[in-house]
Amino acid sequence: MKKLIILGGRGVGMWAASIANDLGTYEVLGYLNDVVPIGQKIGLYKGYNVLGTSNEIDKFIEDKDIYFFIGYFGLQNEEATYNKIINLNIPKDRLATLIHPTAYVPKDFCSIGQGVLVAPFARICPDSTIEDYCILMSSSILGHDSTMKKFSHLAADSVVGGNVTVGYGAHVGTNSTIRENVNIGDFSLIGSGSVVLKDVPKNSIVVGNPAKLLRVKE
């Protein structure tokens, strides 16, 4: 059985641990976390210990039997986090892709990168492209001919229409809807419950129905 270390903690980190447990192909060793002290357990019921910080990842990379999943999601400074992920220099073939058995992924009809998480009941439509480090939470939908760029996220129950590009590090909030033929700019954030009808510029936060610009992130 492959060994797995998860970067992160609660939330997506716990999702990653639970999906890995359901798949039965990984033994979860624990977490790398920059806030919770080493040795402390993360998880209310089935928990795993913090093994170190992300700055210590090199010593774990040396063990070629260990795989990694990056469970960062919906953070305020997506661009800085994206750059941090890239600079971790985890070998691509050591990134764990975690797809829950109840998710719908059309075999041979889409492209899925490394380090991707697809949660229960998420649906991916044909001719879609999902790049590395992307996360699709439970019951989210990615429409046909759409692309998720690296480190982009679909929160639970979000719906992305056909021919949509979700930019690098962009976050599509819970229960939001993106109409077809729309581009979501890099590192932008779509507020929960929003309905996006037109392109969203880079680094923007949009909210509402129809979605309107709240502010541009500095």
What pLDDT was estimated at residue 80?
87
Q: Are 212 and 122 found together in one domain?
A: yes
- Would residue 49 count as lying in a domain? yes
What pLDDT was estimated at residue 127?
98
Q: Are 130 and 187 found together in one domain?
A: yes
Report mean pLDDT in 10-residue bins for the chain, 218 residues: 94 96 95 95 94 94 95 80 90 96 96 97 98 97 98 97 97 97 97 97 96 90
Non-local CB neighbours of 98 within 8 Å, separated by 6+ positions: 16, 19, 20, 23, 69, 116, 117, 118
What pLDDT was estimated at residue 157?
98
Q: Are 124 and 213 found together in one domain?
A: yes
What pLDDT was estimated at residue 191?
96
Q: What is the pTM of this model?
A: 0.94
Do 21 and 1 meet the contact criterion of CB atoms below 8 Å apart? no
Q: Are 152 and 56 found together in one domain?
A: no
What pLDDT was estimated at residue 34?
92
Q: Are 106 and 212 found together in one domain?
A: yes
Cross-strand pairs, 204: 216
